[in-house]
Structure 1
Amino acid sequence: MDVIKQFNNAIAYIENNLCGEIDTNKIAEIALCPYDKFKRFFSYMTNMSVSEYIRKRRLTLAAYELLKDQEKIIDLAVKYGYSNADSFTRAFAKQHGILPTEVSSDTSLKVYPPVSFYVAIKGASELNFKIVDMDEVKLKGISKQFIGKAADRFEQEHIMWSNQHDDVQNQVCKTVEGVWYGIWNNGIYSIAKKANEIDDNPSLASITIPSGKYAVFSTDFGGFAGDVLPKLREQIFDCWLPDSGYTQTDDYEIEVYYLYPKSEKYKRHYEMWLPIDMSLR
């Protein structure tokens, strides 16, 4: 495992110098191997080159700064190693899909958390997120006390959602297609839909998603919730939160299920909403 430690030390050197010059000889010195060998290992493990990783990390940090302070474009260009504002703007737009001047709290950004080498690799994969000021959402649904922490809830969720077990979804609404909510609130998990989208049912509890600032993370189209949501949550908590500087305000997480299995216009995908502190640490 000394090799893993040395390579992580090399990554730490890269992270500490994203705003300055990164010396490939220094990377080789820290990793205790030729730089070509480090590059091959890095590319094999992450499916991207070292230079691509550095570029994506710099543009990730630049996006965070624009969200926080609305820095001048030329200042960010210089800070992250671009020769002029135009080249920075082109690179930023290629990664994030928008111009730096278009960044606001509710725009979607493509950020790359820092990589770390373990037995498994975390980070260095695309993560779609945006910061949204959310209005209050009124829902109706069914809640259940879960055992354990938020990260361990997904097996219990499966039992609630499954039509072979609790079949809570069918108890809430007979129509599967549409937008559904799975809400973790300090150990209580709820399956719900918007109150105005379901028939009046006195057995359903009223559930309110409070207004506030949320980080919203989106999955790709397709896939099944039981596979993609645990992976998305792991990426958020292991990589994005420590890197972004935001803090979760409560033990409260929202899963949003966009269930359109037969629709051409709308496709099945999922989101996770996390309440966050309004200021960066």
Structure 2
Amino acid sequence: MDWIKKFNEVIKYIEDNLKGEISYDTISQIAGCSIYNFQRMFSYIADKPLSEYIRNRRLTLAAFDIMNSKDRIIDISFKYGYESQDAFSRAFRSFHGVLPSAARNETVQLKSCPKLSFQINIKGENYMNYQIVQFPAFKVVGITNRINTSEAFKIVPQIWENAWKDGTMNRFIELLKKTDYRPAGFLGICADGKWGNSEEMDYILAITNHVDVPECNYVSPPDGMKEFCYPASTWVVFDADGELPSAVQKIHKQFYSEWLPNSGYELADLPVIESYMQNNHQEVWIGINKNK
């Protein structure tokens, strides 16, 4: 399938350029989607951020160079994109657990990150309940946090915990008394994906305050909260009922590895919205377009 072919072409491009510059713009062109969307898909399918995969592949090859050549360690550092030997040594020790000098002069245990290869694996035992909706433009109000994508699974729970402690969630509860709009409940929104090499995104805690239909009343943002607007679009909405966070994470992984490659759709440049309601009922909203 084209989707799988494109992913493997990206991996080939990365492999061909591990000793040089890897352009995120080029990855976007090969993948046929924004770098934001590619990184979203990659992280859920590969279980690691794209930047971490590239770094680990470089450090894997660097270890072989250290053991099998007489090149100076500083030259190997530059070869794999590090600006100094100190930076390379820190990254090498973080990944392999030893310094480069130990890898060259001693018998040590090292790690290896293998080259990835993507393929469709049809499992069939897990059903996904979803609906595709043509949804009007809507607005949400909330607070935003700029986070590193590679640390999202650790940081996001802390953001929610802090929101309960500092009274933000109580303010949301008061707002929900005035609104009953979809996307419903408390929203966790992954947005502003122009990550580039920074690998950062905005994580927004919010509720929906307006949907662009005649019968909907607009609710103004409270002091200290920002308003975010999203256009009329096509969304696929998945049920993600069950214990958190595993229920929502499972839907994300199934979406990118199973649903999307077979759907005839591609990702739209829209945020991903997780909708948290009562009694372990959740929805995941993902913007899509028909394949061109």
Q: What's the TM-score bracket when you normalise by the shorter of the two chains?
A: 0.3 to 0.5
TM-score using structure 2 length: 0.45
